[in-house]
Structure 1
Amino acid sequence: MQEIAKPAQYQDYHDWAPAVLIAAFFLHGIVFVWQAVGVIRAGEAHIVDHGGIALHWGGQLGLLIAFWFTASYSLQAWQMTIEAPDYKNFASTMEAERAAKYMIAAQPDGVLSIKGTLELGITRRLAALLAQDSEIYEIALSSEGGNIYEARGLSRLFRENGLTTTVTDECSSACTTAFIGGRKRQLRPGAKLGFHQYRILASYHVLGADPRAEEKKDQKLFLEAGVSRDFVSRMHSAAPGSMWYPEAGELLDAGVITESSD
């Protein structure tokens, strides 16, 4: 019966805690003790009348099992009264915090700028903007990196929509993966691309994570974009805590950028 009456997922009986706890105490406490005493007395009467103790032992074993179930249901009843976290609000808060770390802004003449870290959700958000505005032809990037999976998503979007990617000041780490998806790729005067080895920015062990394997995936993207194998073999040579900034001429010769921009 308690299984039927328990609240739905992400809901609770916090506002009804006194009534729930009183009902649990009555059913799992008073009623159970009354029933247990009745079983024990019935077993003792059976011994007196018939002399056998097997059924009495069976009754006591049943009581032990019933006690275990009763204790479990008592704990469940108490847990029902604990206020459940507002998961929907938590998810919205987390999404807002991530969105605050980057900015997507439309500029004149079909240019869309992306500034900040590449956070979860940025690919979905940009895809919606591209679907609304077919006049966008260029993405101006200014980012020191972020989530590599989102960077790949952006790279795919740029490639599928035939967009030009331009670096306004710096595009480093995961940002370079997004940048390479551009049909035309260019640097503004003084802008730079930064490369280094991948690392996991987490204070805990992430199961199945392999930064070297992720590097190989992105190296393949660069090769598919026409970048020279010599450059690709060196693009992840810098240590995770440092950065390699190739000269614009080297980037042009290697095919990382397709043209310079005044």
Structure 2
Amino acid sequence: MTDTSGEQRREANPDGCDGGGDDAAPDPLQPGIGEWPKRSTGPADYIVNHWRGDLSLAKSYWLNTFLLSLPFIFMLNSLESLAHTVRSVEQTALFFWIFAALIALTFPLTAWQLIGTWRSATKRKINTGKGGWSLVAKVLMVFGWLQLSAGIVQIANDWPAYREIASYTLGLNPMGNYTVTVIDGGSGVAVRGVIARGVVDDVRSALGRAEEPFYVQLESEGGRIGVGDSLNRLIRDRSLATLVRSKCYSACTLAFLGGQSRILGEGGVIGFHQARSGLDDSPTVRTMEMSADALQRTIMREAGVGDWFIDQAMDTPSERMWTPRVEVLAEGGVITHKLSNGELQLVQ
């Protein structure tokens, strides 16, 4: 008699290895019966064990997913509230970097939480035979994926707004040209062109070069509202006067309102309107523009401008320009003096 069972076994297993032998290494990501949950020997091992689903379901869900998410939710909600209080270029830059860091961390963290908890729920059912809480956890993870997907879609829709904020923060979108020069024998500094990032530093530098500066002359059709606010505070901190001999529109008016004395020259025109981002309409863009208008109201109110004037200025659509007469500017508290035939006259 010939024993053919060995040959048959070798044919069924051409590698010559028994399928149940110790040489076959299990895939740690595949569910199976074994040591579960596993103990972690350190932080790195803990992170890996969660990712593989080797932690208990209670620890994976309640500790790593639920509790770990709370500080991030709190920080993101706090940033949304703080966004309405950001004013200076420096504050905008700090806000942008904190927001970008949180977003960059939140998405991979959420994926780690959801995938690890899903795998833990699967291994719990296989190793304990109990499927009730495993099913509940998986349903919650599905809602988590839907929420994450909605967040990604929202960021994609609002990407132009985020790109605009990034360009502003990094100085990649200057909007146009400007010049800052010392004039009138060192008594003044002239700003001509767009109120863009860099203007404030250049004005500060020019004031340092001027002998005895006491006024800033402005000629601009507008620019960045945040820069106009920063220039306003620089002028106010130095107790300088402001002068407009030609035109000063939009963001330029915010800088003008920083003057201790605010002088309108002959032929000077000052114009106001709502903020305009130039971006396609979206909830985030509308929020940005509303925040900018709120900042304009705050600056005008700080300068002592009348509420009725502020309402009229902020009711003017961004595609139009309200250019009040000298009498209206004086009554509204926008100007304190005017030049007439070369003479400085008090208007209030």
TM-score (norm 2): 0.48
Partner of 1:58: 25
Letter in 1 for 2:248: C
Residues 172-181 or 220-229, more deviating: 220-229
Quickly say closer, same or farther: Cα 1:185–1:54, change in 2 above 3 A. farther
Whether the 8 Å contact between 1:99 and 1:122 is mirrored in structure 2 is no
CA-CA distance at 1:130 after TM superposition? 2.0
Q: How many residues align?
A: 187
What secondary structure does 1:235 align onto? helix
Partner of 1:98: 174
Partner of 1:67: none
Partner of 2:3: none
Distance 1:184 1:237 in 2: 26
Partner of 2:303: 225
Partner of 1:115: 192
Partner of 2:228: 151
Whether the 8 Å contact between 2:188 and 2:216 is mirrored in structure 1 is yes
Alignment of 1:8-157 (within 5 A): 48=16, 51-53=18-20, 55=22, 57-58=24-25, 61=27, 98=174, 101-109=177-185, 110-133=187-210, 135-157=212-234
Letter in 2 for 1:219: R
The C-alpha deviation readout for 1:104-136, integer Å capped at 9, x for no partner, is: 111124121111111112112212222343511
Partner of 1:246: 324
1:210 aligns with 2:177: no
Distance 1:140 1:237 in 2: 27
Distance 1:99 1:133 in 2: 27
Distance 2:218 2:301 in 1: 21
TM-score (norm 1): 0.63
Identity rate of aligned residues, in percent? Answer: 26
Quickly say closer, same or farther: Cα 1:200–1:254, change in 2 above 3 A. same
CA-CA distance at 1:261 after TM superposition? 1.2
1:193 aligns with 2:270: yes
Partner of 1:260: 338
What residue ranges of structure 2 are gaps of 5+ in the alignment?
A: 1-12, 29-166, 341-348
What residue ranges of structure 1 are gaps of 5+ in the alignment?
A: 1-43, 63-90
CA-CA distance at 1:148 after TM superposition? 0.6
Letter in 1 for 2:16: V
Quickly say closer, same or farther: Cα 1:97–1:134, change in 2 above 3 A. farther
Using CA pairs under 8 Å that are at least 6 residues apart, name the structure with larger relative contact order, 1 or 2. 1
Letter in 2 for 1:213: S
Letter in 2 for 1:48: G
CA-CA distance at 1:178 after TM superposition? 0.7
Quickly say closer, same or farther: Cα 1:107–1:57, change in 2 above 3 A. same
Letter in 2 for 1:123: V
Distance 1:55 1:101 in 2: 73
The C-alpha deviation readout for 1:7-31, integer Å capped at 9, x for no partner, is: xxxxxxxxxxxxxxxxxxxxxxxxx
Distance 1:103 1:97 in 2: 17
CA-CA distance at 1:202 after TM superposition? 3.2
Letter in 1 for 2:25: G
